[in-house]
Each structure stands twice: as structure tokens, then as C-alpha cells.
Amino acid sequence: MDYTWLLIGSGIGLVVGAVAARLFSLKQFGQHKLQQELDESRKQLSQYRLDVSEHLETTNQLMSQLQDNYSRIARHVQQSKMQLVEQPVSARDEVNFFAADTTQHIKQSLHQLNERRRQHSQVEQQPKDYSGEASGLIRERPSKDD
């Protein structure tokens, strides 16, 4: 009989131990799963930060190239202006198609081109594409049904 109680106690102990081990392992598995999700989130965040950093670096390089290109274009325009517009002309090469005062006026206005702004006129209403009254050139004919 002593063995029977011993076997029953061992069986109950085994069942209680198995249930406790199962509960403990499930709890540990949940914590392990949360830890994996946390590690994955951290990896994604660091990858996102790298992507943003690379994007900003690329944008910065492109903006620098754009500024360089703009300054080269401005220098080219200035040099072309100096060569084409403001180049001194010798007296023998100069052919004057206009009167002296007109030539002087044109030369002065070339220096002021950058300062002038185009002014747009303000229109009160749009022009009409038709006249207000009938001219009588086109008359409506009464239909035969009437």
C-alpha cells in the first residue's frame, strides 16, 4: 500500500510538474518572441535611418551640383555678354546704320536691359467675340412645319 501512495503521489507530482513546466515554457516562449520582435524592429529602424541618411546625402550632392551648374551658366552668360555686347569696336570695323544719336541711345539702353521689367497691363474685362446686336446678314427662315 505504501507503494501505491508513492506511485499516486509520483503521478500527481509528474502531472503538476508537467503543467508547471508547460506554463513556464509558454511564458518563456512569449518573452522570446517579444525579444525577437524588438530586435527586428531595431534592425528596421537602423536600416530606415541609413536610408534617410543616404537620401539626404544624395540630395545634398545634387544641390551642390545644381549650384555649381548655375554659377557656371551665370559666368558663361556674363562672358558672352562681354564678348558680344560690350566688346570695344575699332573705328574701321564699325558700320553705323543709324544716326549718331540713335546709336548712342541703343548703347545706353543695352546697359539698362537688366534693370527694366516688363509691365503687364490690367484688363478690366475680356474682349467680346461677337457684336451686341444682330446685323441682319443672317436671317432665320421660318420652317415649313410652322
User: What pLDDT, on the 0 to 100 scale, is given for residue 145?
Assistant: 60
Cβ-in-10-Å burial (0-12, 13-18, 19+) of 66 comes to exposed
Looking at residue 113, the DSSP 8-state letter turns out to be: T
Compute the distance between CA of residue 108 and CA of residue 144 in angstroms, rounded to an integer.
Answer: 74
Tracing cell 555686347 back to the chain, one arrives at: 85
49-73 pLDDT, tens digit per residue, is: 999 999 999 999 999 999 999 999 9
Confidence (pTM): 0.37
Closest C-alpha among 35, 58, 59, 55 to residue 47: 55
User: What pLDDT, on the 0 to 100 scale, is given for residue 68?
Assistant: 94
80-121 pLDDT, tens digit per residue, is: 887 777 655 555 556 667 777 888 888 777 766 655 555 556
Helices (H) and strands (E) in the chain, counts: 2, 0
123-140 pLDDT, tens digit per residue, is: 677 666 666 666 666 766
Residue 142 clears pLDDT 90, i.e. is over it:
no
User: Average of pLDDT values for 16-22?
Assistant: 84
Q: What is the b/e burial string over 93-122, where b = at least 16 CB atoms within 10 angstroms of the residue's CB?
A: eeeeeeeeeeeeeeeeeeeeeeeeeeeeee
CA 110 to chain centre: 38
